[in-house]
Amino acid sequence: MYGDWSDAPRSLATLGYEPPIPGLIGSSQAMMEVYNLTRRVAGSNASVLLLGETGVGKEMIASAVHRLSQRAAGPFVKVNCGALSESLLESELFGHMRGAFTGAVSNRTGRFEAAHGGSIFLDEINSTSLHLQVKLLRVLQEREFERVGDTQTIRVDTRVVAASNRDLMDEVEAERFREDLYWRLNVVPIRIPPLRERREDIPELVAHFLNVYSETNERHVVHIQREAMEALQDHDWPGNVRELQNYVERAVVLAESDELTVDLLPPEIRSGTKRPPLGMSAQAFDLDTLTQEVVQQGLNEADPDAEDLHSRVVNRVEKELIAQVMQACSGVQTKAATRLGINRNTLHKKLKEYDLDS
């Protein structure tokens, strides 16, 4: 849809790849593989598990799975599982009855009911609690559930597309995710590559975002300086497509001509320096140095023959990491949890465990 398929590398056509899916951008081989798998699975009713870093476009692929399926005429319901507490998420997914809990002043239809005949996209499913995972497993296996505070069983015909920015098998081994639910979700996994693994797609993405934000902001930025494009393609993009989108929008807003020039890009892109992790300044946070210092400190203080040496040192590193992230986020737990890539409830427990809640 964006760009002419005939301009794509000839090797892709000879490998049997089809044109990009309308609404999705990128003609790299890595994305062609994603498109092919998306098309193949869309026609089935199998559960799909989308894997990839934050900002790679998992929601776009989930939407494509729905649009290309026989359920396209039905609803496509999206739920960010990491944005709500356990009790609110349960009510959001399955609905509740009046009086089921404080504030439940009327009956409410849940997202699974709303997605009947269509698809439901469960983003950040790795953040769900073990209790809620039991109910999700039942929906996947039996296609039925009860609203919170009700005994009547509701049956639904809903296709589940889930996404995680963490390796769910690692979560299973850490006993934070049920193995039986993992296998029910992992019928067809689709890994979406990070932007640094498909840099050849950056020109297409930039052209698209230039068009979008020029129109939105009533600007006419239609060209990009060669040095600016080279700087964009050299960047590692820890925030992936979402980060690129943000920088292009900002450049369009600040541009004084019809060209996106290198001086409109952030310093870390212009200079080619890597952005420090978690959005902190290099002075405030250096993960490698932090790890080395804390590990060495832990080794110096611990008994080398202790059986729990590994866990004690790992806990030291985790405590220091959380402390620095909380400081950088001015104590805002929601923001800190997002940067750490964990659920807010998990962060709250860690703060109490490490006596950092003050």
Shared domain for 200 and 188, answered yes or no, is no
Would the pLDDT of 306 be above 90? no
Specify the CATH number for the domain of residue 312: 1.10.10.60
Shared domain for 151 and 271, answered yes or no, is no
- The average confidence (pLDDT) of the chain is 84
Lowest mean pLDDT among 178-192, 249-263, 280-294, 318-332: 280-294
pLDDT score of 328: 75
Would the pLDDT of 200 be above 70? yes
Which of 3-17, 172-186, 292-306, 338-352 ranks highest by mean pLDDT? Answer: 172-186
Distance between the two ends of the chain, CA-based, in angstroms? 52
pLDDT score of 203: 95
Give the count of alpha carbons within 13 A of 135, CB side only: 21
Which of 275, 306, 321 corresponds to the end of one domain? 275
Q: Distance between CA atoms of 311 and 319, rounded to whole angstroms?
A: 12
Q: Distance between CA atoms of 167 and 201, rounded to whole angstroms?
A: 25
Average pLDDT over residues 320-325: 85
Q: Would you list the DSSP string of 162-181?
A: EEESS-HHHHHHTTSS-HHH
Would the pLDDT of 135 be above 60? yes
Average pLDDT over residues 293-307: 60
Would the pLDDT of 268 be above 90? no
pLDDT digits (tens, 9 = 90+) for 225-260: 999 999 999 999 999 999 999 999 999 999 999 999
Which of 158, 193, 228 corresponds to the end of one domain? 193
Dihedrals phi, psi of 96, to nearest 5 degrees: -150, 165
Which of 162, 193, 224 corresponds to the end of one domain? 193
Specify the CATH number for the domain of residue 253: 1.10.8.60
Question: No. of H helices and E strands in the chain?
Answer: 16, 9
Query: Which tokens hold the place of 109?
Result: 């239809």
Domain containing 222 equals 196-275
Q: Would you list the DSSP string of 23-66?
A: T----SHHHHHHHHHHHHHHTS---EEEE--TTS-HHHHHHHHH
Residue spans of beta strands (DSSP E) within 204-306? 223-224, 259-260
Dihedrals phi, psi of 233, to nearest 5 degrees: -75, -20
Shared domain for 311 and 336, answered yes or no, is yes
Residue 29 belongs to a domain: no
Lowest mean pLDDT among 10-14, 73-77, 236-240, 244-248: 10-14
Residue 9 belongs to a domain: no
Q: How many domains does the chain have?
A: 3
pLDDT score of 300: 62
Q: Which residue would you say has higher pLDDT here, 313 or 115?
A: 115
What are the residues facing 78 on neighbouring strands?
A: 121
Shared domain for 85 and 180, answered yes or no, is yes
Q: How many CB atoms lie within 10 A of CB 250?
A: 14
Nearest Cα to Cα of residue 81 among 159, 166, 156, 147? 166
Dihedrals phi, psi of 288, to nearest 5 degrees: -60, -50
Coil, helix or strand at residue 332: coil
Check if the beta carbon of residue 219 is closer than 8 Å to that of residue 256. Answer: no
Coil, helix or strand at residue 107: coil
Find the angle CA(26)-CA(32)-CA(38) to the nearest 5 degrees.
105
User: pTM for this one?
Assistant: 0.71
Q: Distance between CA atoms of 102 and 311, rounded to whole angstroms?
A: 40
Say what percent of the chain tops pLDDT 90.
Answer: 54
